[in-house]
């Protein structure tokens, strides 16, 4: 693996090379040296990617490379400058406060990647933060990126997980209770880590030249099929960002993933899932659910809000790249397409979740009553669809009940109006599925509805074990998450409903950005 400096040679950097927190102007990135870890240890890697990138993890230097103490002579480590809207408000300069890119690499197929260390020390963008990351949050990012990828959803990737041998203070609930946690560094890989916020910062400071250079760089590098940058290409580029974003979010909805911090600095210009913080997975179906403790009252980033928040963020991006256009019209035209684009993808997903091949408007009521029925009692979003796949058009009430009860958190509630509601809905659904071929229905349902997701309590169990030095549970869970649509008869436990102890345990359903 040869790390090169494609990014830092292509785009203007900060003339100040000392590393202290500050406002940076007129630059896309700042040179940033990682801080050497006390006792770096490589504890896990993703073989598919290390092999693709020709990385020898058995090399004793690997732990040093992936914690940043062995820097390639051909590269310039850097942190990126960006801004963003956080929880609806312009937050000014944010930037890579705890991320340092090692540089760029090409894989065996000639595709480019950027390698980035999360938690390798302070950068000019660290503000009050320390620039480090703890094992708990590193495992959450490491596992989830892999889970999302294998669910077939665009995402940045995990490459390696190293412990640093350091201890880091964290006040998880911002209440003055500081605990010392183990330090760790995830090296993640993506074709680009550029965010909506990278454009917003140049727009906010009227750095139109930089804005254009950055847009042209992204187009030439990651959207080359669009052709040479120019007015028509900029519009088409924005359209593709919008389509990719809609696709990613619709697929989050499909699998019940809640990102929980959809600030514009956490929106990838490639439309990928990026920055795994206090994310969570739906247990009971509830559109108002968010695992993010600090968003509990507003619920801005709750499950049900994600599609509209993506549009809100696209408006922010449109505003930022406006200087590339002569008028607002080309951008407005594209923004108006969002709901149609999103609905088209989501409607197909809804149909496929139910084993129907295509969305038919005459089935609208079937979908609407599905969501109200699921909400009528605590119904596990993931288990429900897998169990539904076992229901056939001929099945009678008793058999249906046997199939559906395992999805309920309070099976004793399956009586009266609640049971009647479910039965009425299933009967309606049975009538619709009778239209489609039996095998095709089953295959569609099993390929659309995963059996295994990174349940909130599974991540916590993996963290608890890893904090004692045992990474085997983490690896076992990740193994199953690599084929999440398959049955794994020996690992049924990883598909279980949330256990009672996890209902109130912080770190399962109550998380913060503290990482
Ligand atoms: P997030 O929304 O969690 O991805 O982070 C928002 C901003 O806070 C980004 O600019 C991060 O780089 C920065 N940040 C978060 N945690 C830390 C930390 N421990 N040290 C420095 N900066 C941080
Ligand atoms: Mg972020």
pLDDT band at 78 (very low <50, low <70, confident <90, very high): very high
Compute, in angstroms, the gap from residue 96 CA to the centroid of ligand 1. 7
Residue 222 domain flag: no
For residue range 15-32, what is the model confidence (pLDDT) as tens digits?
999 999 999 999 999 999
| 3-class secondary-structure state, position 27 | coil
Residues 418 and 378 in one domain: yes
Q: Give the position, in ligand 1's atom list, of the atom nearest the Cα of 82.
A: 10
Residues 76 and 96 in one domain: yes
- Stretch 239-254: mean pLDDT: 99
For residue range 168-188, what is the model confidence (pLDDT) as tens digits?
999 988 899 999 999 999 999
Look at residue 507 and tell me whether its pLDDT is greater than 90. Answer: no
Domain end point (choices 297, 330, 348): 348
Residues 314 and 367 in one domain: no
Residues 32 and 75 in one domain: yes
Q: What percent of the chain has pLDDT over 70?
A: 100
- Stretch 404-411: mean pLDDT: 96
Look at residue 509 and tell me whether its pLDDT is greater than 80. Answer: no
Looking at every residue in the chain, the average pLDDT score rounds to 97
For residue range 185-236, what is the model confidence (pLDDT) as tens digits?
999 999 999 999 999 999 999 999 999 999 999 999 999 999 999 999 999 9
Look at residue 257 and tell me whether its pLDDT is greater than 90. Answer: yes
For residue range 377-395, what is the model confidence (pLDDT) as tens digits?
999 999 999 999 999 999 9
Residues 59 and 185 in one domain: yes
Residues 32 and 65 in one domain: yes
Residue 28 domain flag: yes
For residue range 444-502, what is the model confidence (pLDDT) as tens digits?
999 999 999 999 999 999 999 999 999 999 999 999 999 999 999 999 999 999 999 99
Residues 25 and 155 in one domain: yes
Other residues' Cβ atoms within 10 Å of the Cβ of residue 315: 15
Look at residue 326 and tell me whether its pLDDT is greater than 90. Answer: yes
- Stretch 305-330: mean pLDDT: 98
Compute, in angstroms, the gap from residue 250 CA to the centroid of ligand 2. 21
Domain end point (choices 322, 348, 374): 348
Q: What is the pLDDT of residue 448?
A: 98
Q: Are 42 and 63 in contact (CB under 8 A)?
A: yes
Residue 22 domain flag: yes
Q: Is there a catalytic annotation at residue 265? A: yes
Residue-wise DSSP of 167-219: EEEE-TTSSS--EEEEEEEEEEEES---BHHHHHHHHHTT-HHHHHHHHHHHH
Domain end point (choices 428, 448, 468): 448
Residues 173 and 321 in one domain: no
Report residue 160: phi and psi, to 5°: -140, 160
Q: Is the CB of 96 within 6 Å of ligand 1? A: yes
Residues 173 and 295 in one domain: no
The catalytic position among 265, 275, 295, 380 is 265
For residue 460, give its domain range: 456-503
Residues 248 and 297 in one domain: yes
For residue range 67-77, what is the model confidence (pLDDT) as tens digits?
999 988 889 99
Q: Is the CB of 98 within 6 Å of ligand 1? A: yes
Q: Which residues fall within 8 angstroms of residue 120, CB to CB, at 6 or more apart?
A: 34, 35, 37, 67, 68, 98, 99, 100, 131, 132, 185
Residue 476 domain flag: yes
Compute, in angstroms, the gap from residue 95 CA to the centroid of ligand 2. 8
Domain count, the chain: 4
Residues 266 and 155 in one domain: no
- Stretch 314-330: mean pLDDT: 98
Residue 211 domain flag: no
Residues 291 and 374 in one domain: no
């Amino acid at each position: 693996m040869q790390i090169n400096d494609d990014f830092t040679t292509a785009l203007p950097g900060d003339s100040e090379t000392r590393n202290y927190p500050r406002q940076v102007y007129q630059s896309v990135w700042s040179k940033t040296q990682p801080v050497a870890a006390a006792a770096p240890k490589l504890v896990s890697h993703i073989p598919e990617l290390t092999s693709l990138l020709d990385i020898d993890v058995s090399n004793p230097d690997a732990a040093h490379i992936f914690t940043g103490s062995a820097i390639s002579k051909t590269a310039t480590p850097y942190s990126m400058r960006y801004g963003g809207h956080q929880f609806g408000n312009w937050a000014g300069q944010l930037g890579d406060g705890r991320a340092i890119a090692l540089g760029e690499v090409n894989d065996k197929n000639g595709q480019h990647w950027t390698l980035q260390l999360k938690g390798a020390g302070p950068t000019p963008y660290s503000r009050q933060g320390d620039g480090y990351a703890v094992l708990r949050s590193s495992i959450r990012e490491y596992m989830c990126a892999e889970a999302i990828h294998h669910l077939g959803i665009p995402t940045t990737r995990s490459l390696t997980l190293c412990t640093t041998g350091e201890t880091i203070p964290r006040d998880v609930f911002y209440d003055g209770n500081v605990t010392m946690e183990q330090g760790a560094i995830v090296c993640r890989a993506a074709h680009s880590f550029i965010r909506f916020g990278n454009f917003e910062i140049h727009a906010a400071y009227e750095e139109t030249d930089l804005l254009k250079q950055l847009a042209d760089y992204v187009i030439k590098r990651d959207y080359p099929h669009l052709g040479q940058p120019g007015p028509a290409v900029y519009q088409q580029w924005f359209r593709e960002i919008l389509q990719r974003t809609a696709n990613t979010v619709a697929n989050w909805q499909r699998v019940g993933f809640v990102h929980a911090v959809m600030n514009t600095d956490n929106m990838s210009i490639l439309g990928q899932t990026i920055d795994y913080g206090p994310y969570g997975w739906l247990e009971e179906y509830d559109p108002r659910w968010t695992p993010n403790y600090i968003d509990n009252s507003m619920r801005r980033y709750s499950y049900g809000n994600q599609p509209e928040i993506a549009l809100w963020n696209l408006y922010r991006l449109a505003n930022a790249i406006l200087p590339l256009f002569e008028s607002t019209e080309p951008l407005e035209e594209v923004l108006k397409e969002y709901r149609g684009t999103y609905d088209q993808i989501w409607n197909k997903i809804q149909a496929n979740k139910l084993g129907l091949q295509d969305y038919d408007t005459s089935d609208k009521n079937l979908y609407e009553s599905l969501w109200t029925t699921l909400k009528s009692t605590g119904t596990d979003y993931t288990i429900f669809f897998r169990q539904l796949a076992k229901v056939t058009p001929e099945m009678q009430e008793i058999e249906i009940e046997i199939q559906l009860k395992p999805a309920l958190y309070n099976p004793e509630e399956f009586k009266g109006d609640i049971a009647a509601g479910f039965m009425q809905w299933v009967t309606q659904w049975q009538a619709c599925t009778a239209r489609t071929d039996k095998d095709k229905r089953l295959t569609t349902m099993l390929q659309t509805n995963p059996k295994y997701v990174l349940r909130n309590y599974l991540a916590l169990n993996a963290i608890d074990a890893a904090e004692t030095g045992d990474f085997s549970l983490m690896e076992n869970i990740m193994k199953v998450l690599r084929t999440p649509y398959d049955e794994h008869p020996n690992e049924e436990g990883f598909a279980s409903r949330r256990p009672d102890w996890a209902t109130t345990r912080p770190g399962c359903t109550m998380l913060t950005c503290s990482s």
